[in-house]
Structures are given as structure tokens and as C-alpha cells.
Amino acid sequence: MTKTISFRGVLGLSFAMLFSPAIMANEDLTPVEINTIVKEDIASAQIMAEMCPATIGKNAKFDANIKTLVQSYLADYADKSMTYEKIQSDSEYKLLLDEARQVAKETPKDEQQSVCNDVLNYQA
């Protein structure tokens, strides 16, 4: 499956999931589907954490906002004992993370800058 969505689109979806918890309550989604969405969101956050320091510099507020986003995504995971550390060994997560890295590499620098600034200025 090839995704043609831009990095900004992926991250926009991540923010939409955070700001619209009703989406996660959609009865049409199975727990497996919800878990996949959570993994995609966490992968996007991880890519931002890897990429943005080169764009905006090392920033404690940015790091805290990424951590807040990851924790909010994990709250929707079916297995409530799942942690950021545990998800790193999940095979589906690894594939999603690789895909997100590739999309990020193909994203123009100005879009990367915009996304990084959005996270930096995020108010929980």
C-alpha cells in the first residue's frame, strides 16, 4: 500500500485525532483499527522528535509537547499497559515508523518547519 499523503497531512491527522476524541469513540472502528491509528500517530510524533531539533533547535518545550502528544495517543490504545518503550518493538509500529521516516524525507523543508513550529506552539 503506497501512501501519497504529505508529511503535513500525516501530522495534521495526528493533531485531528488529539483534538477530536470522538473519532476514537467511533463504533465502526475495531480495537485493532484504533491501535493502528494510535501507532501511526505515535510514529508521526517520533519522527517529529527526530527531525525537528535540526530545524528549530533543541527545545525543552517542544520535547515536553511531544511527550504529551505520545501519552495522549497511548491513552486510546486498547492495551492500557502499552508504553512508548514497548511499542518500539511492535512489528506493525516499526513498519509505520519506517514509512513515516520516508514521507518525512520527501517533505519540503518549509512544511517541516511549519509542523515543527505547530508542535512547539501546541497548548495542551
Q: Which tens digits make up the pLDDT trace of 33-44? A: 999 999 999 999
**Mean confidence (pLDDT) of the chain:** 83
Instruction: Give the CA dihedral 2, 5, 11, 14, nearest 10 degrees.
Output: -70
DSSP character at residue 5: -
Contact 117, 56 (CB under 8 A): yes
Q: What is the pLDDT of residues 52-63, one digit of tens each?
A: 999 999 999 999
- The answer to whether residue 18 scores a pLDDT higher than 70 is no
Flag whether pLDDT at 79 surpasses 70.
yes
CA distances (Å), 5 to each of 2, 10, 27, 70, 99, in order?
9, 7, 25, 21, 11
Task: Give the C-alpha separation, 48 to 42, whole Å.
Answer: 10
Are 69 and 18 in contact, with CB atoms under 8 Å apart?
A: yes
